[in-house]
Amino acid sequence: VLLGAVGGPKWDKVESSNRPEKALLGLRSGLGLFCNLRPAILYKQLKSACPLRSDIIVDGLDIMVVRELTGGIYFGKKGKSEDGNEAYDIMSYTKPEIERIARKAFEIAQKRNGKVTSVDKANVLETSRLWRATTEEVKKDYPDCSLDHLYVDNASMQLVRNPHQFDVILTENMFGDILSDEASMITGSIGMLPSASLREDSFGMYEPIHGSAPDIAGLDIANPIATILSIAMMLRYTFSLAKEADSVEAAVYQAL
């Protein structure tokens, strides 16, 4: 599936059950797309667009965020009281859910620099304590990879303090949603970056990580690169066409 961005301010006051984002969650859950890959790459041609100081950024910044996509607080039980004075959203994870996303992260790390940083909030959340213990168990099957842990608040600071310390960032749904957007801004533009949402087999849904940008509709200035790079990820992960994916990415690099 190649998905275009949805949403916009005109739906801000619509009931949550009728918002466009509701369809996204339904697609992810219904199709079993538990693994979200969000690469954050700083192209040297766009180095000046990076908001960080030049002495922090050096060429070659390349981070892969591996985000669990069908569990956690977005999919937990939720509700509100009849008088509107109380609301709740429950964060829940099972060990098998954590194991399968952790394995994806380690498999990807094996093809990169072999370093996984797992992000949680284990000093506060029971789900994070289970997350940390489970990732440690999975790590034993990948002796060629390293694993370290960061609390999500520290991870958000480290991303802007020293982004080059990261290779693969493994995290749960909500934390991954926030951190992947932060990582994308380090590259200079959220409009540049693709994503892949995968299940156990080769099936996937591919989409730019940016929104629908209604403020620039009709101005002929929308940037299509994130969609083009999403197609490159589709070629690589669903169709196993690595050479063709490389070619698309090289064309983007040349255009920049």
Asked if 153 is an active-site residue, the reply is yes
Q: Which of 47, 62, 115, 181 is catalytic?
A: 181
- Rounded to whole angstroms, the Cα distance separating 231 from 109 reads 22
Number of C-beta neighbours around residue 12 at 10 A:
8
| 120 to 25, 51, 224: CA distances (angstroms) | 22, 26, 33
Asked if 148 is an active-site residue, the reply is no
Q: Which of 121, 142, 167, 206 is catalytic?
A: 121
Q: Are 70 and 78 in contact (CB under 8 A)?
A: no
The DSSP result for 143-176, as a single string, is TTSEEEEEEHHHHHHHHHH-GGG-SEEEE-HHHH
Q: Which of 104, 142, 167, 177 is catalytic?
A: 177
Q: Which of 80, 95, 141, 153 is catalytic?
A: 153
Under the phi-then-psi rule, with left for phi > 0, alpha for psi from -120 to 50, and beta for the rest, what region is 64?
A: beta
Q: Are 134 and 95 in contact (CB under 8 A)?
A: yes
- Rounded to whole angstroms, the Cα distance separating 66 from 117 reads 10
Give the DSSP H/E element, type plus range, for residue 254.
helix 242-255
- Rounded to whole angstroms, the Cα distance separating 109 from 105 reads 6
- Rounded to whole angstroms, the Cα distance separating 91 from 97 reads 13
Q: Are 140 and 102 in contact (CB under 8 A)?
A: no
Asked if 177 is an active-site residue, the reply is yes
Q: Which of 74, 93, 142, 206 is catalytic?
A: 74
Q: What amino acid positions are annotated as catalytic residues?
A: 74, 121, 153, 177, 181
